[in-house]
């Protein structure tokens, strides 16, 4: 049976996560308030941040930056994209 949450990212009810994706109180808050789709949006944004800023997630400074960005993205006014970031163009549909 699917768990439904009022997703703070999507602003509507959606399927909840199967488990807390992060440890501690923050992870529990994410589990309670963020949907699977909302979390996937964060994962895509995080990947973009890792690539654009060339971050190494094992470094404490990079991890602290990502946690701060995650909180802004999920629960704040939203995270911003790096200056000069250009969305990759989608491949044209196959004929």
On average, the pLDDT of the chain sits at 89
pTM, two decimal places: 0.81
**Which domains, from first to last, does the chain contain?**
4-75 (1.10.3880.10)
Q: CA dihedral in degrees (57, 58, 61, 65; nearest 10)?
A: 30
* Per-residue confidence (pLDDT) for residue 93, from 0 to 100: 65
Instruction: Take residue 51 and report the two structure tokens written for it.
Output: 């690539």
Residue-wise pLDDT for 20-59, tens only, equals: 999 999 999 999 999 999 999 999 999 999 999 999 989 9
In this model, does residue 81 exceed pLDDT 80?
no
Compute how many other C-beta atoms are within 10 angstroms of the C-beta atom of residue 74: 22
Q: What gap in Å lies between CA 50 and CA 58, rounded to an integer? A: 11
Residue-wise pLDDT for 53-80, tens only, equals: 999 989 999 999 999 999 999 998 766 6
- CA distances 60 to 1, 8, 20, 33, Å, are 38, 27, 21, 26
* Per-residue confidence (pLDDT) for residue 82, from 0 to 100: 66
Instruction: Take residue 65 and report the two structure tokens written for it.
Output: 């930056």
């Amino acid at each position: 049976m699917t768990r439904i949450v009022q997703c703070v990212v999507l602003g509507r009810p959606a399927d909840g996560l199967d488990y807390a994706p992060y440890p501690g109180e923050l992870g529990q808050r994410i589990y309670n308030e963020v949907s699977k789709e909302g979390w996937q949006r964060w994962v895509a944004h995080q990947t973009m941040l890792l690539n654009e800023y060339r971050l190494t997630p094992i470094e404490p400074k990079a991890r602290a930056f990502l946690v701060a960005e995650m909180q802004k993205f999920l629960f704040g006014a939203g995270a911003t994209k790096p200056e000069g970031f250009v969305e990759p163009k989608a491949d044209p549909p196959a004929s």
